[in-house]
Structure formats: structure tokens, C-alpha cells
Homo-oligomer: A and B are copies of this chain.
Amino acid sequence: MIIKMKAGAGREEIDYVIRRARSLGLRVHESVDGDTVLLSLLGATDSIATGTFSGIRGVESVLTTKSSFRLASLDYRKERTVVRVGDVEIGGDQVVVIAGPCAVESRDQVLKTAWGVQQAGARMLRGGAFKPRTSPYAFQGLGEGGLKLLAEARDETGLPVVTEVMAPEQVELVTSYADMLQVGARNMQNFQLLAAVGAAPKPVLLKRGMMSTLEELLLAAEYVMAQGNLNVVLCERGIRTFEPYTRNTLDINAIPALKELSHLPVLGDPSHATGRRSLVAPVAGGCLGAGADGLIIEVHPEPEFASSDGPQSLTLEGFEAMMVGLRRIAEAVGRTI
């Protein structure tokens, strides 16, 4: 921790900071840079609360040097984590494509989609039974009925299922049907939920909040991992910016950045990140070109009848066509699909 005093800070102000630091068990090194005094605080600075020094008179800024996340960091684990979901491995040589409808609507819709995406090369099935909707008047999902349909589709096609869980009290129920638990973007800092999935016996797909920094995403992963569940997969799904043409902005930098900060696998979600069907395939290609370990894609047999996210859902034909192109890019970066 380094404290930069204001230009012209008086001796008594400096000494006050030094005394305060020593009272916390820290050693202090003072140096002068032009008209600025710098105090380097050494010792067990990790346990010092942010803000202990930044409000004191004469202090201009406080620079912390500690890494805020631990279990998720490359310091904790040097080799890359491979998360197993059934017999699928996320983070290994194979790029894993997860596909399915935004919301589970009917048995026919789920099974048709599951068979279709499996034929085209998807390795996992996605689908929402509990839906977080901005409006209380919008369709909120089929609930447990939807979970049963997803489980049936898994049993028929062999595709492991990932589905969203929205509250701590849903974790047990969703765990009993799904193979992987999704924490959605709006719940990325729902800390009770993070702790609850951290105690569940299933791997977790953690989506970046649309307003969250990479460090906050990794700290959210840390909440899960601190409960003992180390099987976390991160997902870049687009952040909120000023650009109105697309629903969100896929932060492509985040894919290699997360991989240099953490050992956890990283997926891309071009469906939510673009909000436009026509952009899904090229942005999916972009994610693979940048090193993503997989993709999560919304597919619907009849997008114009979808209860939600129709404009960004691919048709089965569109998904099939996209997969042909993605297979080539995966091979170009030394992976399979």
C-alpha cells in the first residue's frame, strides 16, 4: 500500500498517517518525489480496509498492491482448469458449444431444438425455466415444468443441461434436474445466490454483469469458490455501452484478459451481446478467434414465435450453417469443436 500525500502536506499531517499505520502493525518507508511525499506501507496490508487512509487530511491518494481475488487467480493455480459437465469438458482442447432456446416453452420446442443442435455439433443444451424479466408483466418461465422438459431432452439426446437459477431457495430444485447451474448477468452480485451455488454439487456458469468489471466478475467467482465449488466457468455476454444499434457490446478483450488473470474457462455469448440474429455467427467466430473455450447460443425452431429473445435466436438451419464456419476457425486456432 502506497500513500501519496498532497503537494504541500505539512509535517504533522504526514506524521499522523505514519502513526496510524504503525498502530496497525505496519512498517512505513517515506520518500520524496519533487514536492510530493510518498509513504510505502509494508507488512500485512491485505487485512487493512480500503479507505483506512484515503479520507485523512493531507492524503491525496492510496494505491493498493494486493490482488483482490485469490482462488480464481493464476497465483493460486498455474494450470488451466477443465470443468466437467457430464462427459463434456469445458476448458480442454474442444471448443464447447452450448445451444438451445432462451425460454423453455413446450415439450415439442425443447426436444426439436435439442435434437437439432446436437446433430449440428452442440455439446450441451441451454434453456430457461426461471426467467429474469425486466417487466413483472412479461412471461416468467415454466418453472419446475420447464426443468422436467430439459431433463427429458437431456435423457433423450445425451446433452447435459445448463439452466438459470435465480434465488438461493431455487438451488436445490434446479440442482436436482440440471447438470450445470447458471447465474445470470443481473444476479452476478447477488451474493447470497453466489454462496448458495457455491455450496451446490454442480458446476456453475457465471455470466458477467452488464455493468461489471473483470475484477468484479472474478470476485463473484471467488464468492462461489470460497464455498468449496471450484468448478466455475466464466461467460462474457456483452456489457452496456452507449451504442444503440446492438443490444449490448461484446467485450472481446475480456476473453484473453480473463485468461491471463485466471485459470477458469471462458465462454462467449454472442446472442445476448448482439441482440441481432444477423450478427451472431460473425461474433461467434470472433470469440473463437480470440481464444474462447466455448459459446452459448440461443436457437429456436421458430424464432418469430419465441416468447422471448426471438430477434437474436438462430433458426436450426442458421445454427447448422454457423457451425460449419466455426469448425474451421476452431481448427485454425488448434482446437476441435
Contacts and interface: CB of A to CB of B under 8 A. Distances in A.
A142 interface: no
Given A63-B2, A332-B328, A132 B251 contact: no
A83 interface: no
Interface residues of A, number: 115
A330 B231 CA distance: 34
A308 B49 contact: yes
A256 B279 contact: yes
Contact of A53 (B138, B255, B304): B304
Contact of A240 (B211, B245, B276, B309): B211
Nearest to A278: B260
A173 B133 CA distance: 27
Contacts of A329: 289, 329, 332-333
A215 interface: yes
A41 B211 CA distance: 35
A336 interface: no
Contacts of A49: 138-139, 306-308, 310
A311 B54 contact: yes
Given A166-B191, A255-B286, A65 B42 contact: no
B38 A31 contact: no
A287 interface: yes
Given A4-B65, A31-B29, A291-B285, A313 B55 contact: yes
A233 to B, nearest CB: 18
A240 B242 CA distance: 7
Contacts of A254: 243
Question: What 10 pairs across the A-B complex have the smallest Cβ distances?
Answer: A289-B289, A211-B211, A286-B290, A51-B310, A285-B289, A256-B282, A332-B332, A328-B332, A167-B192, A252-B252
Interface of A: 1-2, 4, 7, 20, 29, 31-34, 36, 38, 40-43, 45-46, 49-56, 63, 65-70, 75, 132-139, 166-169, 186-187, 189-193, 209-216, 219, 222-223, 226, 239-246, 249-257, 260-261, 273-274, 276-279, 282-283, 285-291, 303-311, 313, 325, 328-329, 331-333
